[in-house]
Structure 1
Amino acid sequence: MDYIHQMFEGMGVPLWLTMLGRLVFPIFLFLAADSFHYTHDRLAYLRRLLYMSWFMTIGNAIIGNVFHSGNVGLMNNAFSTFFITGIFICSWDLLTKGLRDKSYKELIQGFGVFLLPILSSIPVVVLAGINEIPHANPLVVQIVASILSLVPSIIMVEGGFVMVILGLLFYIFRTNRMAQIIVLAIISVIAHLFDPTTVLDDDLRCDSYVFLQW
């Protein structure tokens, strides 16, 4: 319902569709964060999330090229959000364990894992700048954008980085249900007062997904 509103808001789709539909994403994040605690193989879990992220990206590209609806393009990919959340959860555990055990090796590993989704965002920013160059080769931009769309990064996640923070906090406070409720309430207020995806959608996200429009 949220996606229907997002795609066809300009055609008069009512607001209550997205109001109901947006209840789902925090539930998914809660389950994903909880699953990282209980899974016996985090790497396998992360791989499955990454594969599904690729599947969604490729599927969006195919559907976007087959079905045209003006300037509307499919960019939703919740699995990329879950994947990045998992990366930060692994980083959190390495950092906390490193602090507890006074292990510099684990601290360095944790910091390195933390930087991965941030560093993977740099090519997206560069691509957005290249796309603004008047004589940029459109074929090269399309190829690079296609490749980068398969690399999850903090500026390309559905819901914005605030949803990644919510997933991480769900994990950190997994033994304190009241704290999780408070976190959800605070994040909800922040998301209501300031839409973290607005700037991203306008300035970067559409540029990096420009191949969908082609």
Structure 2
Amino acid sequence: MNNIRKLCNATNLKYLAMYLCFLDYIHQMFEGMGMPLWLTMLGRLVFPIFLFLAADSFHYTHDRLAYLRRLLYMSWFMTIGNAIIGNVFHNGNVFHNGNVGLMNNAFSTFFITGIFICSWDLLTKGLRDKSYKELIQGFGVFLLPILSSIPVVVLAGINEIPHANPLVVQIVASILSLVPSIIMVEGGFVMVILGLLFYIFRTNRMAQIIVLAVISVIAYLFDPTTVQ
């Protein structure tokens, strides 16, 4: 048992997730060239592993604000990097005009998860200490990722207008892609919930396993492609 615990430490879990992530990206980038489906099926394990590690890191970090800033910067880096890769490299996929199509940005999901973790701690502390100030702060933090989604919804409506200027829409969309929101995170909002529950039940491994199983079933029922 001790050997298993030593083997399943945070560092080894990161190495495992990085390896599986690489396999997943190989399939996504070169699916049109015949990359096998099992590569991305193995990659489905990556997100829960990283969410588990991120939730654990939020508990142990000495500076949450600095941690959130790093996640936000990496989210911007991934968004810009995906755009560059999509326009520079080609994979022979006719459905994307031959361009490599990458929309992955796990750092955005981790950032939103961190926001909700901070909100959870403020709300629970406010309830415990009967502090209205912390309750109001917690509720305000909770609303941030929701409010940041409003411009995205508005842009989607503008895009449906027949005479909307496509260049303006594209520019605004590019700017909004740098603002993490609950409707523009990799894996969807259900992954944010998973990360938050990993944090809430961080001292109970069995509860975390049950949460992962339930969320996996829900994700499959609402979007079967998440396991492909």
The TM-score, its normalising length taken from structure 1, stands at 0.85
Count of residue pairs the alignment pairs up: 198
1:137-165, CA deviations, whole angstroms, 9 ceiling, x for partnerless residues? 11211111111010000010001111000
The alpha carbon displacement at 1:2 in A equals 2.3
Question: Following TM superposition, by how much is the alpha carbon of 1:21 offset from its aligned partner in structure 2, in angstroms?
Answer: 0.8
Aligned-pair CA distance for 1:51? 0.3
How much does 1:89 deviate? 0.1
Deviations 1:41-85 (A, max 9, x none): 000000000000000011111119999754763211000000000
Distance change in 2, residues 1:117/1:137 (3 Å): same
RMSD of aligned residue pairs (Cα, Å):
2.7
Q: Is the 8 A contact 2:93 2:99 kept in 1?
A: no
Per the alignment, do residues 43 and 118 of structure 1 end up closer, same or farther by CA in structure 2, a change over 3 Å counting?
same
Structure 2 residue runs without a partner (length 5+): 1-22, 86-91
Of 69, 73, 82, the match for 2:110: 82
Note if contact 1:159-1:196 (Cα within 8 Å) is conserved in structure 2. Answer: no
* 1:103-130, Cα deviation, whole Å (9 max, x unpaired): 1111111001000001100111111111
Is the CA contact (8 Å cut-off) linking 1:36 and 1:86 kept in structure 2? yes
- Residue 157 (str. 1) matches residue 179 (str. 2): no
Alpha carbons 1:161, 1:196 under 8 Å: kept: no
**Structure 1 residue 68 corresponds to structure 2 residue 99:** no
In the other structure, the counterpart of 1:15 is 37
Structure 1 unmatched runs, 5+:
199-214
CA deviation string 1:16-47 (max 9, x = no partner): 11110111111100000000000000000000
SS in structure 2 opposite 1:67? helix
Per the alignment, do residues 92 and 197 of structure 1 end up closer, same or farther by CA in structure 2, a change over 3 Å counting? farther
Deviates more, 1:64-73 or 1:115-124: 64-73
| Bigger radius of gyration among the two | 2
Q: CA deviation at 1:196?
A: 8.4
- The farther-off stretch of 57-66 and 176-185 is 57-66
The answer to whether the Cα contact below 8 Å between 1:60 and 1:75 also exists between their aligned partners in 2 is yes
Q: Secondary structure at the match of 1:174?
A: coil
